[in-house]
């Protein structure tokens, strides 16, 4: 399910990044020559005009996602992948002027997803396991912008929690503009520290026979078998015995450089390095060997990824913007991929635009992947998760954006509304549709 969540989040973020608007500069800020970290000695105190914290913008995003397929990793790469997910999120942007008129922005976010997954029922061999779940993901980011140079520095923290997965994250980011302000170099360092709950398929759960006096085995809605006392837990405190978890850590370093070539053309170069270690599989993913016996997915405990890409935005006259993107990806598990994306934003009127888009993706298979019933018991690592298979995919759709000067539907504070739809398909049979609504309040 984690991959599904990331897809939905990424699509929702596009609703904000691809907004067809020009941001006006806050002329109320008096820019003075300052250092980013401390005031210049002897500076006239009258040039410092602190402003109290205010709520600058509120963004509401909702999306509805459906998916079908027949290669579930829970059933060894051969079973239903039907998923429905409803996601809702809110971002609050607070702004204030601090020392030396440096602009401070505090962004708080909170999201909640509710999903149903048909394959989750088969964590237990009865097919009666838990099919639905909820995930919450709050976030907090603080960024300060130097009033003179335009350079920024910030930090952020994140959390994501659901029944079988907990994740904590933090990042440090900064950017430096060139002297003419037409170029910008950015750096972002991130760390995610996850805990994977060890929920095994029911046939692999060892049972104590007979159970201790006064205790019974109970199969939970998720297909887990746990030991429970007659009055609650085996320890008598009224809650079930906790499930073990295993750590997974992800460290990412991102570099970017953007350059305004002229009034019509902008380019951005992107480079990432991603290192992972810990438990990188999922304990409820089955693998069926060629002798008919099944086992649990086994993958290496480390992985390194290198994505490299660029973006090119071109203003084709006053009414059309061409947004293109390309990325090459390589990792040490044997996957190589290419992504190409094109979006055309057309300004129908000063307050309404449409943005059709298309993305093509192709990847090679990881060396540890094989379909249902193909792996040998002698293999060192094995998975039948089609995330690691060879496939091509297409994602296409359209976005509609409305931003009238008097507010959407005459509501002054609702300054923009964006509706986006996308259809996704893989050559291995997975198909999905997502629709999202974004509301921006000022």
**Which one is predicted more confidently, 398 or 42?**
398
Picking from 87-91, 126-130, 226-230, which range would have the lowest pLDDT averaged per residue?
Answer: 226-230
Contact between residue 402 and residue 440 where contact means Cβ atoms under 8 Å apart: no
In the chain, residues under CATH classification 2.40.160 are: 55-200+248-441
Q: CA 355 to CA 418: how far, in whole Å? A: 10
Residue 433, strand partner residues: 66, 423
Handedness of CA 37, 26, 51, 105 (dihedral sign): negative
Mean pLDDT across the chain? 85
pLDDT at 364 over 70: yes
Cβ burial of 366 (10 Å; 0-12, 13-18, 19+) is buried
pLDDT at 128: 83
pLDDT (tens digit, 9 = 90+) per residue, 64-77?
A: 999 999 999 999 99
> Rounded mean pLDDT of 284-292?
96
Sign, CA torsion 117/118/119/122: positive
* pLDDT tens by residue, 36-45: 233 333 444 4
Both tokens of residue 10? 């990424």
Please tell me the predicted confidence (pLDDT) of residue 9. 41
- Nearest in space to 21 (alpha carbons), one of 243, 350, 433, 343: 350
d(CA 426, CA 164): 27
**Distance in angstroms (rounded) separating the CA atoms of residues 3 and 115:** 13
Closest CA to 332 of 376, 357, 299, 310: 299
- Can you name the CATH fold of 55-200+248-441? Porin (2.40.160)
**Tokens matching residue 181:** 């302000």
pLDDT digits (tens, 9 = 90+) for 231-278: 444 333 333 445 788 999 999 999 999 999 999 999 999 999 999 999
Supply angle C-alpha 188, 193, 194, rounded to 5.
130
Question: Across residues 278-299, what is the average pLDDT?
Answer: 96
CB 12 within 8 A of CB 60: no
d(CA 73, CA 388): 11
CA distances for 178 relative to 85, 102, 175, 181, 184, angstroms:
43, 18, 10, 5, 6
Residue with tokens 């540890």: 368
Strand segments, DSSP code E, in 207-366 are 215-219, 225-229, 245-260, 265-278, 286-288, 294-296, 302-316, 320-331, 336-349, 352-363
User: Using CA atoms, how far apart are residues 72 and 7, in angstroms rounded to an integer?
Assistant: 17
- What is the Cα Rg of the chain in Å? 25
DSSP states of 203-242 as a string? GG----SSPPTTEEEEE-TTS-EEEEETTSSTTSSSSPPP
97: Cβ contacts below 8 Å, ≥ 6 apart: 29, 49, 50, 51, 103, 104
Q: What is the per-residue burial (b if ≥16 Cβ within 10 Å, else e) of 4-24?
A: bbebbbebbebbeebbbeeee
Selection from 15, 12, 14 nearest residue 417 by Cα: 15
CA distance 353 to 19: 9
Decide: 120 and 130 in contact? Cβ < 8 Å. yes
The confidence score (pLDDT) of residue 206 equals: 65
Which has the higher per-residue pLDDT, 28 or 135? 135
* Spatial separation of the C-alpha atoms in residues 265 and 268, rounded to whole Å: 10
* 0.85 surpassed by pTM: no
Q: Quick one: residue 200, left, alpha or beta (phi over 0 = left, psi -120 to 50 = alpha)? A: beta
**172 forms bridges with which residues in the sheet?**
155, 189
Do 400 and 418 meet the contact criterion of CB atoms below 8 Å apart? yes
Residue 221 has pLDDT above 70, yes or no: no
160 pLDDT higher than 90: yes
Measure CA of the first residue to CA of the last residue in the chain; give whole Å: 34
């Amino acid at each position: 399910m984690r991959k599904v969540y990331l897809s939905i989040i990424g699509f929702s973020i596009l609703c904000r990044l691809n907004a067809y608007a020009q941001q006006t500069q806050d002329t109320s800020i008096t820019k003075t020559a300052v250092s980013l970290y401390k005031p210049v000695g002897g500076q006239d105190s009258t040039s410092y005009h602190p402003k109290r914290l205010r709520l600058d913008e509120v963004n509401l995003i909702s999306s509805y996602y459906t998916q079908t397929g027949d290669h579930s990793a829970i059933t060894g790469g051969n079973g239903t992948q039907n998923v429905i997910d409803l996601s809702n999120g809110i971002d609050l942007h607070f702004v204030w002027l601090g020392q030396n008129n440096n602009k401070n922005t505090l962004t708080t976010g909170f999201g909640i997803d509710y999903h149903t997954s048909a394959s989750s029922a088969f964590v237990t061999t009865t097919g009666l396991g838990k099919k639905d779940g909820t995930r919450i993901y709050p976030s907090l980011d603080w960024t300060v912008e130097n009033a003179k140079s335009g350079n920024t520095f910030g930090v952020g923290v994140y959390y994501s929690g659901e029944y079988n997965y907990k994740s904590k994250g933090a990042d440090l980011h900064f950017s430096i503009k060139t002297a003419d302000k037409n170029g910008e170099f950015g750096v972002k360092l991130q760390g995610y520290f996850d805990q994977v709950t060890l929920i095994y398929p029911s046939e692999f759960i060892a049972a104590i026979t007979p159970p201790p006096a006064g205790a019974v085995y109970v199969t939970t809605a998720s297909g887990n078998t746990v030991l429970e006392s007659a009055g609650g837990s085996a320890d008598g405190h009224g809650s079930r015995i906790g499930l073990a978890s295993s750590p997974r850590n992800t460290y990412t370093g991102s570099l970017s450089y953007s350059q305004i070539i002229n009034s019509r053309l902008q380019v951005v170069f992107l480079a990432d390095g991603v290192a992972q270690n810990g438990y990188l599989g999922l304990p409820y993913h089955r693998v069926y060997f060629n002798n008919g016996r099944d086992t649990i997915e086994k993958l290496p405990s480390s992985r390194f990824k290198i994505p490299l890409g660029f973006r090119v935005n071109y203003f084709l006259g006053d009414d059309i913007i061409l947004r293109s993107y390309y990325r090459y990806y390589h990792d040490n598990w044997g996957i190589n991929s290419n992504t190409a994306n094109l979006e055309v934003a057309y300004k129908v009127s000063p307050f309404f635009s449409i943005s059709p888009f298309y993305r093509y993706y192709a990847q090679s298979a990881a060396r540890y992947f094989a379909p249902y019933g193909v792996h040998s018991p002698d293999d060192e690592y094995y998975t039948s998760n089609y995330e690691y298979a060879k496939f091509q995919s297409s994602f296409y759709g359209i976005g509609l954006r409305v931003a009238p000067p008097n507010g959407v539907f005459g509501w002054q504070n609702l300054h923009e509304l964006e509706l986006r739809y996308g259809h996704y398909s893989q050559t291995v049979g997975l198909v999905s549709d997502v629709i999202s609504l974004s509301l921006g309040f000022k």
